[in-house]
Every structure is written in C-alpha cells, then in structure tokens.
C-alpha cells in the first residue's frame, strides 16, 4: 500500500434503484442555459454550443435535507442527471448510450445574487454553484427519463420539463464534453434546467418526480 502524505479523499457513492450497491462519483459537470424558456426567464441568449461548469464533490447531496448557507439567496434548478459508466474520449453522439450507466433527477442549487455578480464581472460561477450540499441527486435508474419530470415546493409545481426540450440533447452534450475533456466512469452530468427556477426557504418541503411518480422528497433547513 502506498504511503500518502495526507489521507485520500472519501469516496462518495450514489444509490442505485433496486440494489444496495453504490456508484462512486469522480467529477460533476453541469451544462448552462440548455432550455430556451429558462434562458429567456433570466434574460440570456441561448448559446451556439454547449458550455459547462463544475461542482465540487463536497457539493453532492443524496440526503433528504437541504441545509441553506447563511445569508444567501438559494434557488432551485431541477435537472436530469446522467451517470457515466465507462471511460471515453471523443465519443460520437450515436454511441453515447453505451457510456451511460444510469439516470437520476437532481437539483443544481444556486446562489442567484452572487451568480449575477459573477456574470456581470465575467467571472466563473464556481462560488455560486459549488457550496456544500448544492448538488442534490436522487437514486439512479437504468431507464431513460422520457416522461415529464417535475419539482414541487410546498405541494405546488414550480418546475416541469421534458428532455425533448433541451437545446443540446444528452448525446450531444456527452459528445461535445468528451471532445474537450476525457470522461471517466463515475462522472456526473447535470443536463440543464427548465423554466420556473426560484428561491427556497427554511421550512420548505420539496418533492421531485417523473410522470405520475414521486421519487424523492427533501426538507429545507
């Protein structure tokens, strides 16, 4: 066994529906402005090509709680999340299915006020997007998410979307990202949020679902 100068980082595993197995996470990528209605609600143009940012591993949250950081306005952004199951570079859009091990729903929690300041200064979004617990992920399923997916806040539907509404499809995202950065098994891709983003507050109850089925609930602290 090698002698490390510091302890290696703890591996965070994501649950898989129907099993007790966990899938280890390596990196977290997110695409921005991938639904036209969402880009419009924030007064942005739709990009000509996909653009991505990252969240840190400590941002991952598979629990049933969201603990809000102090003195920050946090917004929900509901997304389909894709789990990469094998390494790949320069993956063609037609072959991406063989690189995907599962699908989940997620919340890309965002400090909206700070993100706006970063945008105005033309700076990266990392500090507005990567605080602890800001990458909520449900358990993974093997089936593609083809039905409408939704988020309720206090029993009111806040967001509803369908993967067919994406500007850049999941195969296009994987192909583009892998042409720039080698993907490795355990990478996650948050694939964009539909319109309806908004703030959450302490005491709120959140529910995520696909079609008629609720799949995950959270309380906000």
Is 130 a residue whose pLDDT tops 80? Answer: yes
In Å, how far are 78, 123, 146, 163 from 104, measured between CA atoms?
A: 11, 29, 12, 12
Residue 84, both tokens: 């990469």
How many domains does the chain contain in total?
A: 1
CA nearest neighbour of 190 among 34, 66, 47, 58:
34
Q: Give the pLDDT confidence score for residue 150 in this predicted structure.
A: 98
pLDDT tens-digit readout, 61-74: 999 999 999 999 99
What pairs with residue 105 in β-bridges? 80
Query: Over the chain, what HEC string results?
Result: CCCCCCCCCCCCEEEECCCCCEEECCCEEEECCCEHHHHHHCCCCCCCCCCEEEECHHHEECCCEECCCCCCCEEECEEEEEEECCCECCCCHHHHHHHEEEEEEEEECEEHHHHHHHHHCCCCCHHHHCCCCCEEECCEECCCCCCCEEEEECCEEEEEECHHHECCCHHHHHHHHHHHCCECCCCEEECCCCCCCEECCCCCEEEEEECCEEEEEEEEC
Please provide the average confidence, as pLDDT, over all residues in the chain.
Answer: 96
Query: What sign for the dihedral angle of Cα 56, 66, 210, 33?
Result: negative
pLDDT band at residue 42 using 50, 70 and 90 as cut-offs: confident
The string over 73-101, giving b where at least 16 C-beta atoms fall within 10 Å of a residue's C-beta and e elsewhere, is ebbbbbbbbbbbbeebeebeeeebeebbb
pLDDT band at residue 43 using 50, 70 and 90 as cut-offs: confident
Establish if 46 belongs to a structural domain: yes
Establish if 4 belongs to a structural domain: no
- The span from the CA of 82 to the CA of 99, in Å, is 10
Is 162 a residue whose pLDDT tops 90? Answer: yes
Establish if 2 belongs to a structural domain: no
**For 145-152, what is the mean pLDDT?**
98
Establish if 25 belongs to a structural domain: yes
With pLDDT > 70 as the criterion, what percentage of the chain qualifies?
100
Q: Give the pLDDT confidence score for residue 44 in this predicted structure.
A: 87
Which domain CATH number covers 200? 3.90.850.10
Which structural domain, as residue segments, surrounds residue 177?
A: 16-220
pLDDT band at residue 2 using 50, 70 and 90 as cut-offs: confident
**For 53-57, what is the mean pLDDT?**
95
pLDDT tens-digit readout, 169-221: 999 999 999 999 999 999 999 999 999 999 999 999 999 999 999 999 999 99
pLDDT tens-digit readout, 71-113: 999 999 999 999 999 999 999 999 999 999 999 999 999 999 9
Is 9 a residue whose pLDDT tops 90? Answer: no
């Amino acid at each position: 066994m090698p002698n490390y100068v510091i302890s290696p980082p703890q591996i965070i595993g994501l649950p898989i529906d129907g099993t007790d197995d966990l899938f280890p996470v390596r990196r977290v990528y997110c695409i921005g402005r991938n639904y036209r209605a969402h880009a419009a609600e924030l007064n942005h143009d739709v990009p000509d090509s996909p653009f991505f940012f990252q969240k840190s591993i400590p941002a991952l949250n598979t629990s049933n709680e969201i603990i809000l950081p102090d003195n920050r306005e946090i917004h929900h952004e509901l997304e389909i999340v894709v789990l990469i199951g094998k390494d790949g570079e320069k993956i063609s859009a037609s072959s991406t299915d063989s690189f995907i091990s599962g699908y989940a729903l997620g919340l890309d929690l965002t400090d909206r006020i700070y993100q706006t300041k970063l945008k105005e200064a033309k700076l990266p979004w990392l500090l507005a997007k990567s605080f602890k617990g800001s990458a909520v992920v449900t358990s993974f399923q093997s089936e593609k998410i083809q039905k409408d997916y939704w988020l309720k806040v206090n029993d009111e539907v806040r967001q509803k979307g369908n993967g067919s509404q994406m500007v850049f499809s999941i195969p296009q995202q994987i192909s583009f990202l892998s042409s720039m950065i080698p993907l490795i098994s355990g990478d996650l891709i948050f694939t964009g949020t539909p319109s309806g983003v908004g703030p959450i507050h302490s005491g709120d109850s959140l529910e995520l679902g696909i079609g008629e089925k609720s799949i995950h609930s959270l309380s906000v602290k």
